[in-house]
Amino acid sequence: MEFTPIVALVIALALFFDFTNGFHDTANAMATPIATGALKPRTAVALAAVLNLIGAFLSTEVALTISQGIVNEDAASGGVAITPEFIFAGVLGAIIWNMTTWLFGLPSSSSHALFGGLIGAALVGAGVGAIDWAVLLDKVILPALFAPLVAGLTAFLATRLAYAVTRRHDGRPDGRGRFRVGQIFSSSLVALAHGTNDAQKTMGVITLTLVSAGLLESSAGVPWWVVVTCALAIAIGTYTGGWRIIRTLGSGLTAVKPAQGFAAETSTAVTILASSHLGFALSTTQVASGSVVGSGLGRRGSVVRWRTAGRIGLGWVMTLPISAAVGGAVALLAHLGTVGIVAATVVGVGLVVAMFVVSRRNAVNARNAISEVAESGHAVDIKRRRRARS
């Protein structure tokens, strides 16, 4: 089989999705250290980009879950053959949903957008038999339900513990500001975990494309050049920021303090790394959001903004069906052949450009994404220094 234009188009779209995944999910690792002032915004995203790059080389278990699991590409073993055209439809559906949620600053799951797009396209293009429903349930749906709860509970307990061991009754400083230093390490661990988990999803899509085009054996692993390009794409995307979602996670859910942020980040990293080892295609966004809410509940006097949490939860619920619907619609166009694929590409690119233009009307960047929490934290430090001088 030869390397056709549709295969090249799918790979290009998959790498662009990887790029959007990077800036869409930067907030998972760096929203809380930016909010508490532990890291400057630009330093935070640069650190996250480097660690996402490194993390992408640490494992391929999640990539194999996608390329050899959810979509059954082996027709010879009783499955339904999946073509590059249908993968194109699924990835385009995921990109459109990712850009939409980014525009509204909604930390939805890039992972579930990808799964939804692929599932919708596969159902339209090849039928129900194209999906391995057992793998989908075990590796995607059940982890999506339980992982945020586990991460939230862990963050709740870790926050309670952090405040218990630093409690002071003599009026002297409690030392909790030192958790800002700890946040550098905990947020770095989240960024590393994100690269380990999320970059692999694009690796899996490209590998699935190569298999469906007959360019790779279905039992083969992930080619080295796929690992390298996906690692670079997600790292570059991470460095661009994703400031809208950083603002939502950094201050939209709850006012984050250093000890609280450290607990949330540590809980997020542990949950994601464990899931990557088991091959679970977990949503880092859901885990990070669950950890932030759990840490907010764990700190006395903290207020969780449940209206914002509800909006995020609604986005989680809508991600799979909407991205599946878009992927299915694009798959219908793909049935028309080259004309349909070109039309879908033009419409998709037009929507992405339009959303970018709209975002410039109310731009969020490194200067204005810093939350009020960070400013209040610096104000407390200034007051303490003034008291010490007096």
Other C-beta atoms closer than 10 Å to the C-beta of 99 total 20
Q: Yes or no: say if 206 and 88 are a contact pair by the CB < 8 Å rule.
A: no
Residue 175's pLDDT band, with cuts at 50, 70 and 90, is: low
Other C-beta atoms closer than 10 Å to the C-beta of 204 total 28
**Domain-located, residue 262:** yes
**Domain-located, residue 17:** yes
* pLDDT top residue among 119 and 11: 11
**Domain-located, residue 20:** yes
Number of domains in the chain: 1
pLDDT at 383: 42
How many whole angstroms separate alpha carbon 302 and alpha carbon 304?
A: 7
97: CB partners within 8 A, 6+ apart = 108, 113, 116, 117, 319, 322, 323, 326
**Domain-located, residue 390:** no
Task: Kindly tell me the burial class for residue 390, based on how many C-beta atoms sit within 10 Å of its own C-beta (0-12, 13-18, 19 or more).
Answer: exposed
How many whole angstroms separate alpha carbon 67 and alpha carbon 232?
A: 20
* pLDDT top residue among 140 and 10: 10
Q: What is the mean pLDDT of residues 185-211?
A: 83
Other C-beta atoms closer than 10 Å to the C-beta of 380 total 12
How many whole angstroms separate alpha carbon 77 and alpha carbon 308?
A: 46
Amino acid letter, residue 125: G
**Domain-located, residue 388:** no
Amino acid letter, residue 107: P
pLDDT of 384 > 60? The answer is no
Coil, strand or helix: which one is 1? coil
Residue 16's pLDDT band, with cuts at 50, 70 and 90, is: very high
Distances (CA, A) of 211 to 2, 169, 233: 12, 64, 21
Cα 224 to chain centroid distance, Å, stands at 23
Coil, strand or helix: which one is 71? strand
Tokens at residue 32, please?
């809380």
**Domain-located, residue 142:** yes
Nearest residue to 377 via CA among 211, 203, 261, 239: 261
User: pLDDT tens across 45-89, in order?
Assistant: 899 899 988 888 876 665 565 655 566 655 444 444 578 888 899
CB-based contacts of 223-231 (< 8 A; 24+ apart in sequence): 227/56, 227/57, 227/60, 227/203, 229/15, 230/15, 230/18, 230/56, 230/199, 230/200, 230/202, 230/203, 230/206, 231/52, 231/53, 231/56, 231/57, 231/195, 231/199
The pTM (predicted TM-score) of the whole model is: 0.79
**Domain-located, residue 46:** yes
Length of the chain: 390
pLDDT at 9: 94
Mean pLDDT of the chain: 79
pLDDT at 1: 56
How many whole angstroms separate alpha carbon 381 and alpha carbon 249?
A: 23
| Rg over CA atoms, the chain | 21
Domain with 352, as residue range(s), is: 5-382
